[in-house]
């Protein structure tokens, strides 16, 4: 199965980002994994690649509980970015919160594809990659 081209991970915990990179490597998940330690850094990165006309990420993995700008605020700001440029980007909530109110809130955002409770597993990445590639072929 082909790797996903580019993935953006936004999580304020550097260890979680390293774990994601390791699991992505083990599972041949993505050609490129970009990590940001804050939602603000993630938004800045997205605005920069848009300005430079670089390829947008195919997937974003987003933590909810982060200081200053949390995952929900990121989603609100992300929706205001160029919707044509980022129209094919899929967002996955990747969080330690199993709180049902967070799950329900995520469902209210049409740009959120799925809600994943940490810890992340290779099997989960394989399922996401398979589903993503199946959907790309059918488009």
Domains and CATH numbers, the chain: 4-138 (3.40.50.2300)
The ranges of the chain with pLDDT < 70 are: 139
- Enter the DSSP assignment of 100: H
3-state helix, strand, coil in the chain (%, to 5): 45, 20, 35
Q: Please state at what angle helix 39-51 crosses helix 71-79, rounded to 10 degrees.
A: 20
User: CA triplet 21, 25, 27: central angle to 5 degrees?
Assistant: 120
Q: State the chain's mean pLDDT as an integer.
A: 95
Distance set, CA 68 to CA 37, 38, 96 (Å): 12, 8, 18
In this structure, are strands 90-95 and 30-36 parallel, antiparallel, or unpaired? unpaired
Q: How many CB atoms lie within 10 A of CB 41?
A: 14
pTM above the 0.85 mark?
Answer: yes
Instruction: Give the per-residue pLDDT at 139.
Output: 65
Crossing angle of helices 14-26 and 122-138, rounded to 10°: 70
CA atoms within 13 A on the CB side of 137: 8
Residue 82: per-residue pLDDT: 81
């Amino acid at each position: 199965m082909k790797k996903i081209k580019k993935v953006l991970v936004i999580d304020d915990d550097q260890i979680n980002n390293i774990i994601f990179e390791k699991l992505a490597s083990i599972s041949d998940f993505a050609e490129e994994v970009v990590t940001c330690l804050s939602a603000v850094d993630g938004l800045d990165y997205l605005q920069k690649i848009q300005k430079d006309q670089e390829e947008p990420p195919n997937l974003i993995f987003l933590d909810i509980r982060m200081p200053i700008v949390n995952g929900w605020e990121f989603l609100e700001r992300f929706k205001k970015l160029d919707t044509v440029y980022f129209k094919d980007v899929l967002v996955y909530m990747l969080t330690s919160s199993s709180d049902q109110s967070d799950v329900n809130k995520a469902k209210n955002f049409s740009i959120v594809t799925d809600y994943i409770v940490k810890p992340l597993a290779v099997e989960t990445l394989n399922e996401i990659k398979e589903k993503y590639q199946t959907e790309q072929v059918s488009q």
